[in-house]
Amino acid sequence: MQKAQDSYKRHYDKGRKGNPAFKVGDEVWLSAINLRLPCPSRKLGPFKVKRIVNPVAFELALPSSYKIHPVFHVSPVKPVVPSPFSGRKQPPPPPVKIDGENEFEVEVIIDCKRTARGRKLDEGVSVSRMNTQLAGLAFLFKLQGQPDVTKEFWVRQALKGYRRAVVKRDSRRPVTFEILRGIGDKLGVVCSSEYEVVLFKVAFVLAFFGAFRIGELVSPSKKVQGGIRLQEVQLDEEGVSIFLRKSKTDQGGRGRMVRIYPIHGSPQCPVGTVRKFLKVRPDFQGPLLVHQKGTWLSRFQFVAVFKKCLQGLGLEEKDFSSHSFRIGAATEAARLGLDVEVIKRIGRWESNRFQSYVRPQLAIKL
């Protein structure tokens, strides 16, 4: 065993540089890449080596505000290399004593450079970029032991107004009863077989009447199974029950039952559409929505056929998305005067978030 270890070590050390020989008191840079902190820089320091724990571990003299363990492996620690040119190291300005602590003041900004990623506010800075910059400032204040002004009331109010100003309003249109009927009529032209007509019709009808998110309904791709499974669908005379294993508002995976009722006399009746599909569906276990050869219906295929149907109806496809079925479910339920709690139950909304989905002003009449 010892011979094997010596052999591995010998071959490994051939392509490996030796560890730098640090001494107590040496100044070093500390890499911040693996600290998982919103650091404004990729390296921190310089710090002095306080103690040598072993040949590959050192304790650094960190400020008390860092709140991290001061012992590090040699890999993220790099020595401070002095400039080979004399006179290049500029002494720091004289400190100003404030509350017994050394403070430094900036006299003047000599010059500045705009980076390729930099943007002016009037050119539009995203909310996520603004939050990242604020996190960097907050971390800098913490390192310096200064009050975090990013948490001040006036700053939070200013940012709140900025977020409202830059956030793009969701203007996706709802799929209404009328549009759903028109899509069903266009499937005969878009699809290549009668089975595909039935498949996509049941997919669109379930997306609407079940207010499903597309990730809950169909598979994410042709290679990855997903969506509703065949064994999770129960059909009876009074409706269809679908067990939803997991959803956006049920990350714990407890699951919930979605109950969909018939609309008698309508060609878009969800119960009748599901019953017709189950009669022609091939005998394969797995996802409910599958093609005739057993391959499952993917998100891409759902959206592609949906857009072709919209084009056939003379509608702008960019105004709609797969979420338009869920938006349409809330819009039509509100138009019919259903109770708030009923609408929330239809879409499995836990709060009044559904109100942003009620968009009668964006509904289109064919």
Tell me how far apart the alpha carbons of residues 91 and 124 are, in angstroms, rounded to a whole number: 40
Contact (CB, 8 A) for 233 and 240: yes
pLDDT, residue 117, reads 46
Query: Is 143 within a domain?
Result: yes
pLDDT, residue 98, reads 47
Q: 14-41 b/e with 16+ CB inside 10 Å = b?
A: eeeeeeeebeeebbbbbbbeeeeebbee
In this structure, what CATH number is given to the domain that contains residue 63?
A: 2.30.30
Residue 347 CB neighbour total at 10 angstroms: 21
In this structure, what CATH number is given to the domain that contains residue 298?
A: 1.10.443.10
Tell me how far apart the alpha carbons of residues 342 and 162 are, in angstroms, rounded to a whole number: 35
pLDDT, residue 188, reads 93
Domain co-membership, 348 together with 202: yes
pLDDT, residue 17, reads 61
Total count of domains within the chain: 3
Contact (CB, 8 A) for 190 and 196: no
- CA neighbor of 262 nearest in space, from 244, 283, 276: 276
pLDDT, residue 101, reads 54
pLDDT, residue 120, reads 44
Joined together, the tokens standing for residue 151 give 């948490």
pLDDT, residue 273, reads 96
Domain co-membership, 132 together with 202: no
Domain co-membership, 241 together with 353: yes
pLDDT, residue 147, reads 85
pTM here is: 0.58
Range of the domain at 137: 125-168
Tell me how far apart the alpha carbons of residues 3 and 1 are, in angstroms, rounded to a whole number: 5
Residues of the chain with pLDDT under 70: 1-19, 34-41, 65, 83-125, 165-169, 251
Q: 268-284 b/e with 16+ CB inside 10 Å = b?
A: bbbbbbbeebeeebeee
Q: What is the pLDDT of residues 286-330, one digit of tens each?
A: 999 999 999 999 999 999 999 999 999 999 999 999 999 999 999
Four-CA torsion 86, 87, 89, 92, nearest 10 degrees: 160
pLDDT, residue 3, reads 64
